[in-house]
Homo-oligomer: A and B are copies of this chain.
Amino acid sequence: MKKIAVLGAATTKFGELWGISPRSLLKEAVTEALSESNLSLKDIDALFVGNMLSGILGGQEHLGAFVAEELGVNIPAFKIEGACASGGLAVHAGTLSIVSDVYQKVLVVGVEKMTDHKPEETAAALMGAGSDEERTAGATFPSLYALIARAHMKNFGTTEEQMAAVSVKNHFHASLNGKAHFAFPITVTQVLKSPYIASPLKLLDCSPISDGAAAVILSAESYALKHKGKIKPVWITASAVATDSLGLAQRKDLTSLNSAIMAAKKAYRQAGLSPADIDVAEVHDCFSIAEIIAMEDLGFFKKGEAARNIAAGKTRLGQKLVVNTSGGLKASGHPVGATGVKQIVEITHQLQGAAGKKQVLGAKIGLAHNVGGTGATAVIHILQSF
A-side interface residues toward B, CB under 8 Å? 1, 46, 52-53, 55-56, 59-66, 68-69, 73-83, 89, 92-93, 95-97, 99-103, 124-125, 127-132, 135, 240-246, 250, 258-259, 262, 372-373, 376-377
Contacts and interface: CB of A to CB of B under 8 A. Distances in A.
A135 B59 contact: yes
Contact of A377 (B60, B77, B258): B77
Nearest to A65: B376
A83 B100 contact: no
Contacts of A124: 59
A243 B89 CA distance: 21
Contact of A82 (B73, B78, B96, B97): B78
Contacts of A76: 92, 240-243
Contacts of A262: 74
B102 A102 contact: no
Contacts of A100: 96-97, 99-100
26 contacts: A46-B241, A52-B61, A55-B61, A56-B59, A59-B127, A61-B125, A62-B81, A62-B372, A62-B373, A62-B376, A64-B81, A64-B243, A64-B377, A65-B377, A69-B246, A74-B243, A76-B92, A76-B240, A76-B242, A76-B243, A78-B82, A79-B80, A95-B102, A96-B96, A96-B100, A97-B100
Give how many copies assemble into the complex: 2
Contact of A61 (B63, B129, B241): B129
Contact of A250 (B63, B69, B125): B69
Contacts of A241: 46, 76-77
Given A96-B100, A135-B59, A74 B129 contact: no
Contacts of A99: 100-102
A62 B377 contact: yes
A294 B101 CA distance: 29
A89 B62 CA distance: 12
Given A99-B101, A243-B64, A69 B127 contact: no
Given A62-B128, A76-B243, A81-B81, 13 more contacts: A55-B56, A56-B61, A62-B129, A64-B82, A64-B89, A64-B243, A65-B373, A69-B244, A77-B243, A77-B377, A78-B80, A93-B93, A99-B102
A62 B96 CA distance: 20
Nearest to A83: B62
B74 A78 contact: no
Contacts of A89: 64, 78
Nearest to A132: B60
A228 B116 CA distance: 55
B244 A65 contact: yes
Most buried by B among A1, A62, A89: A62
B250 A74 contact: no
A245 to B, nearest CB: 5
Contact of A246 (B66, B80, B93): B66
A258 B173 CA distance: 48
A271 to B, nearest CB: 14
Nearest to A58: B128
